[in-house]
Amino acid sequence: MTNTSTLQHLNACAPGEFIDLLHGIYEHSPWIPERAAAKRPFATISSLKLALQEVVTQAHLDEQLGLIRAHPELAGKAAIAGALTKESTGEQAKAGLNQCSAEEFATLQKLNADYNTKFGFPFILAVKGPDGKGYTRQTIISTFARRLKNQCQDEQAECLRQIGRIAELRLNDLLAHTLQFGLTVMEWAETLAQWSDDEDGLTCAYLTAAHQQTAQQIARWMQEAGMQVQIDAVGNVVGRYQSDQPDAKTLLTGSHYDTVRNGGKYDGREGILLPIAVVKHLHERGEKLPFHLEIIAFAEEEGVRFKSTFLGSNAIIGQFDLALLDKRDDDGISMRDAMTAAGHDVAAIAHIARKPDDILGFVEVHIEQGPVLHSSNLPVGIVTSIAGSCRYLVELQGVASHAGTTPMHMRKDAAAAAAEIILYVEKRCAQVATLVGTVGQLQVPNGSVNVIPGACHLSLDIRAADDAIRDAAVADITREIEAICQRRQIELSLNQTVAAAAAPCSPWLMQQLAAATARAGVPVFHLPSGAGHDAMALARITDVAMLFTRCGNGGISHNPLETMTADDAETSAQILLDFLRHFQTKTDVGS
């Protein structure tokens, strides 16, 4: 699609011309720009994109299905016959679908047929991908096969989201809209993903060779962006963009660069790479801020190697537990020895701590790791609170006896008690929107097909953005567990392993993020974080805030399928840049 217009022209032209100019954005569906025309003027390209998506969201079911069915199959009959729109032709060619091997073509034809039989509409995928460079044919085929397993309602919603992504990319082309930051963030994330502890997938555990290579690359990018850079005694990579204001204080941002096993490319790392790209932009313009800005790439948050989380951020707040230095990994290597081998001085850990009086606050950008923004069709959201959690290990002891000879009413079945507990956890935690409960581990030790389970072990994780809500749920659940065990004559051992308080985000920082979001032409949307983040640790010494970026693939995270788009990263970066340029201290906001 060639550049034929500008946002200013789209805002000013007659409705008929507006519809004509946007005729190729949605396949054979002029009713979408027709309804969006009444919402002009649009302050930003983002607001135009969101307005078009809102028309689709508010349309009747028949209209939505008509829009989906207006799209061609991938490498289907219309493509073979040359009957695609020029937009679809270019997109399918970008992904190499016009160069399928005989085997790939046959696979796609089978998938198309199976998909249409199950859902009654064609499979839709924005084949240009999250960065606009195009998916590989193998990725398209694997995505096709995975989504074929979806339920019809979920798949219809996913098709509409993919249509929104296609429209977004087409609008970029129409308006010659170039991303300042998003593509850079995506490219850098790909670069870091090449260093992994595993050959297959991305694993970057604390102070491994891959971890140290990642740190060195982050340091290089920080230096190129005009920052003063150091790698501290625990492996945090710290970039400081110096202000020229006398007596300036420091605003902190950043996230972690370690990963879970076989994790995603953006968890944590987006919150490092995105602000580096923003600072690089400021530096290239010769633009200084009235405060120092520190980007901290925290060395460890996930706890994979030494089963101890938040090592990097705890060192920054002066609460690193030196007893952890004697912990050993699965190979018997102590944390102390791993640090020394990596060239770090454990005696210097105490000197990492920041002085709270020097800090203005901490703002973390992070991929959502959940489906809320995804299902709301919004690129970003402002976090209200980071959920606190209570975790327990539950051991149930019944009586193992013969499965054939013991009457049902005489059994002391530990697994049956566990099943009742799990269902109650689900029922109780469904009562409050911000409350979640999970039994993630469940074991029947020495279980046998013909023996009534005499023991059962399970984990329990209860989280909420509000400690009072979480604690009330914990009280109800533990009381019900005790009642179930008493009724079933099961011995109970309930041991708490984690008790972490929620970390509310500071209203004065949230307000400034909200103002920057609104100026970007994006609706202000608030949501809690169910996952833990480095901001939880920083909240012990300063005010914190978080900006979430939409997570694709249904919100999957801690998984190779974790993804986001360059456009959403761009939106987050523009909001962060605007936030920095308009930043007011807590004192100024209060006055």
**Would you place residue 500 in the very low, low, confident or very high pLDDT band (cuts 50, 70, 90)?**
confident
The answer on 460 and 431 residing in a single domain is yes
How many separate domains does the chain show?
A: 3
Burial of 132-154, coded b for 16+ CB within 10 Å and e otherwise, reads bebbebeebbebbeebeebeeee
Is residue 29 one of the residues assigned to a domain? yes
How far is residue 551's CA from residue 253's CA, in Å, rounded to a whole number? 20
User: Does residue 41 have a cis bond before it (omega within 30 degrees)?
Assistant: yes
How far is residue 447's CA from residue 227's CA, in Å, rounded to a whole number? 58
pLDDT exceeds 50 at position 21:
yes
The answer on 247 and 380 residing in a single domain is yes
Is residue 377 one of the residues assigned to a domain? yes
Residue 99 CB coordination number (10 Å): 11
**Would you place residue 19 in the very low, low, confident or very high pLDDT band (cuts 50, 70, 90)?**
very high
- Residue 569 structural domain: 182-384+504-584
The answer on 278 and 337 residing in a single domain is yes
- Tens of pLDDT, residue by residue over 255-273, are 999 999 999 999 999 999 9
The residues near 180 (Cβ < 8 Å, ≥ 6 apart) are 281, 570, 573, 574
Is residue 589 one of the residues assigned to a domain? no
Residue 233 CB coordination number (10 Å): 20
- Tens of pLDDT, residue by residue over 535-576, are 999 999 999 999 999 999 989 999 999 999 999 999 999 999
| Cβ atoms of 274 and 181 closer than 8 Å | yes
How far is residue 529's CA from residue 182's CA, in Å, rounded to a whole number? 23
pLDDT exceeds 50 at position 3:
no
Handedness of CA 575, 581, 585, 589 (dihedral sign): negative
Cα–Cα nearest to 257, from 244, 242, 248, 270: 270
The answer on 395 and 380 residing in a single domain is no
| pTM summary value | 0.91
Is residue 285 one of the residues assigned to a domain? yes
How far is residue 381's CA from residue 367's CA, in Å, rounded to a whole number? 10
pLDDT exceeds 60 at position 251:
yes
Is residue 1 one of the residues assigned to a domain? no
Is residue 493 one of the residues assigned to a domain? yes
Q: Among 501, 534, 554, which residue terminates a domain?
A: 501
Is residue 164 one of the residues assigned to a domain? yes
The residues near 261 (Cβ < 8 Å, ≥ 6 apart) are 198, 201, 203, 205, 304
Question: What percent of the chain stands above pLDDT 70?
Answer: 97
Which CATH number fits the domain that encloses residue 446?
A: 3.30.70.360
The answer on 544 and 435 residing in a single domain is no
The residues near 360 (Cβ < 8 Å, ≥ 6 apart) are 249, 250, 251, 252, 291, 542, 583, 585, 586
How far is residue 591's CA from residue 580's CA, in Å, rounded to a whole number? 19
Question: How far, in Å, are 10, 364, 506 from residue 382 at the CA level?
Answer: 30, 11, 11
> What value does the mean pLDDT of the chain take?
94
| Cβ atoms of 562 and 554 closer than 8 Å | no
Helix axis angle, 566-581 to 182-192, nearest 10°: 110
- Tens of pLDDT, residue by residue over 358-411, are 999 999 999 999 999 999 999 999 999 999 899 999 999 999 999 999 999 999
Q: Among 174, 209, 242, which residue terminates a domain?
A: 174
Would you state the pLDDT for residue 4? 52
The answer on 380 and 425 residing in a single domain is no
DSSP-derived secondary structure for 99-113: G--HHHHHHHHHHHH
The answer on 436 and 518 residing in a single domain is no
Flag the least confident range among 86-90, 118-122, 362-366. 86-90
pLDDT exceeds 70 at position 77:
no
Burial category of 106 from C-beta neighbours within 10 Å (exposed 0-12, middle 13-18, buried 19 and up): exposed
pLDDT exceeds 80 at position 86:
no
The answer on 168 and 21 residing in a single domain is yes
The answer on 437 and 294 residing in a single domain is no
Measured at the alpha carbon of residue 431, what is the angle toward residues 428 and 436, in degrees to the nearest 5? 70
| Cβ atoms of 266 and 189 closer than 8 Å | yes
Would you state the pLDDT for residue 98? 78
The answer on 113 and 12 residing in a single domain is yes
Which CATH number fits the domain that encloses residue 264?
A: 3.40.630.10
Which CATH number fits the domain that encloses residue 110?
A: 1.10.3330.10
The answer on 412 and 302 residing in a single domain is no
Would you state the pLDDT for residue 101? 87
Is residue 530 one of the residues assigned to a domain? yes
The answer on 198 and 168 residing in a single domain is no
* Residue listed under structure tokens 């050959």: 199
| Cβ atoms of 485 and 471 closer than 8 Å | no
Burial category of 82 from C-beta neighbours within 10 Å (exposed 0-12, middle 13-18, buried 19 and up): exposed
Residue 245 CB coordination number (10 Å): 12
Q: Among 141, 174, 207, which residue terminates a domain?
A: 174
